[in-house]
Amino acid sequence: MQKVTLSVLLGCVLYHTVDLLAPEGYTTKLGALTGASTLLKEQSCPQAGVLRPSKNQDLWVDVTHQIASKEFRNQAVGWLSGAVQVPTESFDEMGPIGEDRRWDAFGPFHAYLHSAFPLVHTTLKRSEVNTYGLIYEWVASVDSFEKPLLLAAHQDVVPVDQTTLDQWKYPPYSGHYDGERIWGRGSNDDKSGLIGVLSAVETLIKNRFQPTRNLVLAFGFDEETSGLQGAGELYKVLDQKYGKDGIAMVVDEGMGFSEQYGSYVAGPGIAEKGSLNVQVEVKAPGGHSSVPPAHTSIGVLSALLVHFEQNPFDVQLTRNQPIYTTLQCIGEHAKEVPKDLRKLIKKSAESDKALGKLSSSVLEDHLMKSLVGNTQAIDIIGGGVKSNALPELAWAVVNHRISVTESVSALKARDTKLLEPIAKKFNLSFNAFGELLTEAGAPALGSLSLLDISRGGLDPAPITPTFGSEGAPFKLLSGTIKAAFNAYRSDLKSEASDIVVAPSMMSGNTDTRFYWNLTRHIFRYSHQNGGKNSNALSRGIHTVNEHIEVDAWLEMIQFYATLILNVDESTEV
């Protein structure tokens, strides 16, 4: 899970935007543009109604009351605290399961799940995939042809840096409960999600809920590294059983909700950026450095890398960006958005000029710019072995994150085009991603190769549909968010809700990158209340003092229980 959420960015960025607007004359200028008044009346971000279970209404009301009880709170604290106390660290470059002993940590975690959730383990069908991957299936009590809901989470946690131990308020694997929060590595990312789902299912079983369509839980165990051993293998089993588009919707870890401009805004992630690692390799003849050429391979590589940085990506906010949708929703529904900003956001739906203005203000923020556009970062470099020998090889790795509106192949084409003139300038043969672009055998002073070292890279995730004929799952999720939000505030009746649902995205990837084939309806959302501060860093995710507010954690359970019931009885998804 990524460290910084979008919503916190929006908070500061949009205030910044207002600062940039000329206070005088701005409104007049806007008014002068035709069509402004009709535009302002249009709904750019329709909100779903509150969706409460109806067939299982009584059961849902009972569950809601139970979650609000002191007994349940104690039990839930025990569930999550116990899970944090079983370390399940995953590391980069781990050896095969069974050989690399570090994987063994997941065995005790499985044993813990068995003992903590007895009803889940006697009611659901449990399968181990690639030893530590877990699939639980709650099989429908009747013959069902409806597609199942898939709830995903990961068992592994980011390793604790031993040099930071003294900075932890409580030991990282203590699962300490201070009366308000549970502390420790994984308490938030992502054991709150995994244990949240299991807590909801355990509670529903206890209340004698019987599903009428299958529910699937899939828990990977290396999300924080590559996901290949966990979700990568889980996918194969799920695909075998359910096939393309065989799942109604996937809900995995992701953004929660927080206060923005006087309103609560929930931001289910509907997109993920792609990535590509490019190795830039320069080879040149070796020899004694007392008789050097004008440029060694290291000198040439340096020129290439400087050229990369002198040519950053041109980033523009466009209307097909999920972040643009987020802005539209905030502009439309958040209560305290400054008037001029609200107008600009609305106007930008039709006016390119307004869009340009909004774009340049929003992208002033570096984090926002990184979310919207392609990025490049030169992360590793190597070359040369001896002070008196000419380096025969010099190389560097450039890490790209790919905008949701771009692709791996477009990125490769861009890098190729970017470096071509430099290859020519230094008279190098040029091989870009396996294709020789210079004449074979032509005289050259050396060679330049671009290599994809990320197994084909990762294209951006398909954007989850949120409206039109394919918008039903998003609508169901939105209605569920509102019902869970209300219910947790003891409102079991209102048709209105104080929470705005705004499709959104985050910069990191989740295990869902393996699940695209199973459904077009993937949501990265965990319904965690961030309050006024939605910055995940403030909750210690991926750093010291990771924790979760118990109130926020109980509300997550309320959300999962409501979602399971709503999907079960839906005729729309």
Residue stretches of the annotated binding site: 154, 189, 224, 252, 542
**Among residues 189 and 549, whose Cβ is nearest to Zn ion?**
189
Q: Does 190 bind Zn ion (CB under 5 A)?
A: yes
Q: Does 1 bind Zn ion (CB under 5 A)?
A: yes
Q: Does 222 bind Zn ion (CB under 5 A)?
A: no
User: CB of 560: closest distance to Zn ion in angstroms?
Assistant: 16
Those residues whose C-beta lies under 8 Å from the C-beta of residue 427, and which sit 6 or more positions away, are: 444, 445, 446
**Among residues 161 and 470, whose Cβ is nearest to Zn ion?**
161
Give the three-class secondary structure for 136: strand
Residue of 247, 137, 250, 146 whose CA lies nearest to 571: 146
**Among residues 56 and 526, whose Cβ is nearest to Zn ion?**
526
Catalytic center residues: 156, 223
User: CB of 157: closest distance to Zn ion in angstroms?
Assistant: 8
Binding track, positions 54-93, relative to Zn ion; x by CB under 5 A: ----------------------------------------
C-alpha 71: how far from chain center: 33
- Near Zn ion by CB under 5 A, which window of 1-9, 307-315, 393-401, 422-430? 1-9
Binding track, positions 402-441, relative to Zn ion; x by CB under 5 A: ----------------------------------------
**Among residues 189 and 233, whose Cβ is nearest to Zn ion?**
189
**Among residues 13 and 160, whose Cβ is nearest to Zn ion?**
160
Query: Which position among 109, 124, 187, 189 is part of the footprint of Zn ion (CB under 5 A)?
Result: 189
Residue of 99, 472, 498, 533 whose CA lies nearest to 336: 498
Alpha-helical segments (H) within 245-389: 297-310, 322-333, 339-347, 352-362, 366-372
Give the count of residues interacting with Zn ion (CB under 5 A): 4
The answer to whether 272 and 250 are in contact (CB under 8 A) is no
State the sign of the Cα–Cα–Cα–Cα dihedral 433, 435, 440, 443.
negative
Q: Measuring CA to CA, how many Å separate 391 from each of 280, 282, 284, 394?
A: 15, 10, 7, 7
Strand 125-129 relative to strand 181-183: parallel, antiparallel, unpaired? unpaired
Q: Which two tokens stand for residue 435?
A: 């294709």
Residues of span 110-129 touching Zn ion by CB under 5 A: none
Q: What share of the chain is helix, strand, coil (3-state, %, to 5)?
A: 40, 20, 40
Residue of 143, 288, 151, 129 whose CA lies nearest to 212: 143
User: CB of 167: closest distance to Zn ion in angstroms?
Assistant: 21
Q: Does 546 bind Zn ion (CB under 5 A)?
A: no
**Among residues 234 and 363, whose Cβ is nearest to Zn ion?**
234
The answer to whether 139 and 222 are in contact (CB under 8 A) is no
Q: Measuring CA to CA, how many Å separate 466 from each of 51, 269, 504?
A: 16, 11, 11
Q: Which two tokens stand for residue 512?
A: 């869902």
User: CB of 356: closest distance to Zn ion in angstroms?
Assistant: 36
User: CB of 535: closest distance to Zn ion in angstroms?
Assistant: 16
- Residue numbers in the known binding site for Zn(2+) are 154, 189, 224, 252, 542
User: CB of 244: closest distance to Zn ion in angstroms?
Assistant: 26
Residue closest to Zn ion when measured from CB atoms: 1
Strand 446-452 relative to strand 149-154: parallel, antiparallel, unpaired? unpaired
State the sign of the Cα–Cα–Cα–Cα dihedral 556, 561, 567, 569.
negative
User: CB of 5: closest distance to Zn ion in angstroms?
Assistant: 13
**Among residues 1 and 354, whose Cβ is nearest to Zn ion?**
1
Q: Does 452 bind Zn ion (CB under 5 A)?
A: no
Q: Which two tokens stand for residue 573?
A: 């998804």
Residues of span 237-266 touching Zn ion by CB under 5 A: 253
Point out which residues bind Zn ion (CB under 5 A).
1, 189-190, 253
